[in-house]
A and B are shown apart, each in its own frame.
Chain A
Amino acid sequence: SQELEQSPQSLIVQEGKNLTINCTSSKTLYGLYWYKQKYGEGLIFLMMLQKGGEEKSHEKITAKLDEKKQQSSLHITASQPSHAGIYLCGAVVLYGNKLVFGAGTILRVKS
């Protein structure tokens, strides 16, 4: 079965600093989703990557897919308190029309 490992598990950054979250798959990635979650709430879609080398940005958040490494990275530039939350990656499972998720990365931003 496909598994996703996210790193780090949690991090605390000073407001204004940059940060990167990684998501590594045990199998080939055919599509990779990034979601954000506030504690006790539902998931908010950030972006979806399909092709190797693809890079997408939304405001100050950029995600990239490295197919060879079976890895995706999420980069936040000039972090703000509004960026705090749990970031989850989800990979498309080739057969079954479903996603498998990583354990999540908890981000705290100190102001």
Chain B
Amino acid sequence: DGGITQSPKYLFRKEGQNVTLSCEQNLNHDAMYWYRQDPGQGLRLIYYSQIVNDFQKGDIAEGYSVSREKKESFPLTVTSAQKNPTAFYLCASSSPGLVNEQFFGPGTRLTVL
């Protein structure tokens, strides 16, 4: 079955540690996205990539980094520079173009202790 996988489902880290969230898709989509979701705030775009080896900052990129070395993979690193990293992180992918549906993964809940 085609889809998007995110791992792990739950992640706990100590303050000051970097952590990498995994996102893999087998939908053959060119575009991939990372969102952060906080209670009452909906989804906010962190980074997006429209093609391999290229990515752009979203609205809240500070304290995060990404790479896009393979079409099917778009890992997100939450660095120690992110002041409030505890949140629910969602990865999505789509075919290129404005009007193509974004398919979402199941999400990773990151808690920084």
Contacts and interface: CB of A to CB of B under 8 A. Distances in A.
A88 B88 contact: no
Query: Interface residue tally of chain A, by bracket?
Result: 20 to 34
A42 B90 contact: yes
B2 interface: no
Interface stretch (B13-21, B61-69, B93-101): B93-101
Nearest to B38: A103
A98 B59 CA distance: 11
Contacts of B48: 97-98
A41 B98 contact: no
Contacts of A30: 98
A102 interface: yes
Contact of B50 (A1, A92, A97): A97
A51 to B, nearest CB: 11
Contacts of A33: 101-102
A17 B58 CA distance: 39
Nearest to B98: A92
Nearest to A6: B42
Contact of A97 (B44, B98, B105, B106): B98
Interface in B79-113: 88, 90, 92, 96-99, 101-107, 109
13 contacts: A30-B98, A33-B101, A40-B107, A42-B4, A42-B90, A42-B107, A48-B101, A88-B42, A90-B43, A94-B98, A97-B50, A97-B97, A103-B42
